[in-house]
Amino acid sequence: MRTITKVLVTNRGEIAIRVMRTCRELGIQTVAVYSEPDRTALHVRYADEAYEIGPAASSQSYLVADKILDVIRRSGADGVHPGYGFLSENAAFAEAVEAMGVAWIGPPPDAMRVMGDKTAARAEMERAGVPMAPGTTDAVKDVDELREAAARIGYPVLLKAAAGGGGKGMRVVERAEDLEAAFETASREAQNAFGDGRMFVEKYITEPRHIEIQVLGDRHGNVVHLFERECSIQRRHQKVIEEAPSALLTPELRDAIGQAAVTAAKTVGYFSAGTVEFLVDEHDPKGLQYYFMEMNTRLQVEHPVTEAITGLDLVKEMIRVAEGHPLPFAQDDLSIHGHAVESRVYAESASRGFLPDPGPLVRHAAPSGPFVRVDAGVEEGGTVPMYYDPMISKVTTWAPTRTEAIDRMNRALGEYDIAGVETTIPFCRFVMQHEAFRSGNFSTRFIERYFTPDVLTAVSDDTKTAAALAAPLLVYAAPASSSGDGAPVDAAPAASGWMARRWVR
């Protein structure tokens, strides 16, 4: 058993702040890292210490493991939390952290490595008896093998990158004559995104529901599931709206999928927090079917809805697991309380295909009220930078019933006042008000079936803020430079009342 006293968060934005808040509650000191344009970012000023790690490009800063490892040494951090994105699923980085004698607040590197390779994961899950969609276990060698597999599965089929995620290297193929071109395009995209162009193929479910199960395990072999999240409202295969629990699952199906997720985690020796994702086909002639899709070996963006219905702090539990504590509860101790919905607020233009719209936040007034949670990574007077994910915040609402949680979200989004960038708030309100979502009768094709830019007019009027009424842009003074030798500098902007105790170049 160990005691973690100082945690370095290898991330930025809202997830860095979210992790640091739990650390602060636990009396644990925090260390931030930042790129040059993030020098005055909110997560930097919230931390107890902050260290610059390079230029704007993440490939020269947040993704450079050696720079992060150097900050661990310089800061004396005895724990590392990766958040999500960047190095969060990099097994080699996790091993390097552990080799320093520092606690990795995440899953074992071996499990990360297996589940990070989609074909290896499929092979492990098939051996464990976890339900799998018809498809190839291994990556296809060439187009001829792909043709044979697709003919055996039956069209339409889905091409997926073996090392992929986030919708990259993914193509739906409706006809055999389109297969070769789709394979070449998807493989090239996967190679560019992941440095790995291998592809596999599986059955394409035309109206799937995306259901994921939150799992939590300790180093003593105990694994539980914390129920499901519905993540079917997506753009470009990336989630925009999440909720827990799902309106689709019966208690019996919830237990079955939950146990499949626990089996998946135990099969690879998993501990810490993770998510096992499934596609659900409710229109299969044999009845509702669910299939393993992938496992995300990290904390998920949408974890607040799980926290809302279980009353657990997942970051706290991850820290306890990293310290060596057993889980303080068993599966039978857990239950669902009420309903929670999360909306991701991005600086994106939904009317222009959800294109990013980075820029200064002239106005940022977040909603509040009973059971409204806002996890923001930026603030009024700051900037949504062009270099990173354009998320502004996540809004989570809770209520005793699903309808009340949706109505509360609609109200909260209507109060959210942002100027300077376009946001996804009007789109999220459109979803909250749409009968398909409210009835629970929707799929991952929601946007394709129901959304066009003109529908935003009716829901956006009371979320817009006229530029003439916007607050003046706040300008923070840059902190003083260090001497260049790594000495601490006691200077930070204090406009928000949050100040890093040390700034280090």
Residues with active-site annotation: 298
Say whether 112 sits in a helix, a strand or coil.
Answer: helix
Query: What is the residue-wise DSSP string for 38-69?
Result: GTT-HHHHHSSEEEE---SSGGGTTT-HHHHH
As a whole number of angstroms, the distance between CA 223 and CA 76 comes to: 31
Strands (E), 314-442: 339-346, 348-349, 355-356, 359-360, 363-365, 372-376, 383-384, 391-399, 417-419
**What letter represents residue 319's amino acid?**
I
Cα 330 to Cα 223: distance, rounded to the nearest angstrom: 8
Q: How far apart are CA 72 and CA 84, in angstroms?
A: 18
The single residue listed with the structure tokens 């200064």 is 360
Residue 405 contacts residue 397 (beta carbons within 8 Å): yes
| Cα distances (angstroms) measured from residue 3 to each of 247, 326, 352 | 41, 14, 49
Determine contact, residues 260/291, Cβ cutoff 8 Å: no
Enumerate the β-bridge partners of residue 341: 243, 397
